[in-house]
Amino acid sequence: MMNKHAVITGAGSGLGSALARKLSEQGYHISMLGRRKEKLEQTAKSLSGTYSICGVDVASFAQVQETFASIDKEHGQVDLLINNAGVGIFQLAEHLDKSAVDDMIDINLKGTIYCTQAVLPKMKEKNEGTIVNVISTAGLEGKVNESVYCASKFGMKGFTESLIAELNDSEVRVLAAYMGGMKTPFWDGIYKEEDIQHLMDPDDVADIILSNMKTRKNLNVDEVIIKNK
């Protein structure tokens, strides 16, 4: 697995950090993308191999294009893209202000599209590569206080399923990961600490995602659903 190049958005904490650590142990060079470099630097302390830190807002098409051009030049073609960056603001639909709506659509949906567009041409040209879209069970059913969050995740689901269809005749693989709540800072200020303790461990979720990414003879996994008990 040496010399493989993985890009993980939202790698500063939670699932993104767990995935970065586990992929680093497998020999990947990890390019970590996020808006807050200090959080990425914290993740970097747990990595066992080479890495790069890229401060970028995935909601900005220009920043994404510039960042991916730079990391491709410095570290080689991206073999694995994990679209993990996401934000959730939970209120009744009529109480969500414009900035909340924009953030969820721009980061969750547009960010996934922009990063995917940045790696697709070379993956298709080389006819190999893997894209993992971290979507959430909010992309499978509507939920109270999550109308726009669900809308962004349903959009990711539609984008992912269409991408799978477009790449059906190629060796570029796409995996949609739908998971429930995890014990991560994502829920700070939303759930009480005692409630967060009953959620899934991001290390366990990371293991399941990586297991379903593996190339296996005569089968392909397009999606995995991981739910809380």
Residue the block writes with tokens 């694995």: 80
- CA-CA distance, 12 to 106, in Å (whole number)? 19
- CA-CA distance, 52 to 30, in Å (whole number)? 6
> Which listed residue (28, 51, 114, 149) is catalytic?
149
Asked if residue 27 lies in contact with residue 6, where contact means CB atoms within 8 angstroms, the answer is no
* Residue among 175, 193, 203 nearest 13 (CA): 203
149 is catalytic: yes
Structure tokens at 87: 């934000």
Residue the block writes with tokens 């900035």: 99
- CA-CA distance, 134 to 178, in Å (whole number)? 7
How far from 163 is each of 114, 139, 207, CA to CA, in Å? Answer: 13, 16, 24
Residue the block writes with tokens 């809308």: 151
DSSP secondary-structure letter at 135?
-
Rg (CA), the chain: 17
SS3 142: coil
DSSP β-bridge partners for residue 82: 8, 132
Indicate which residues carry an active-site annotation: 149
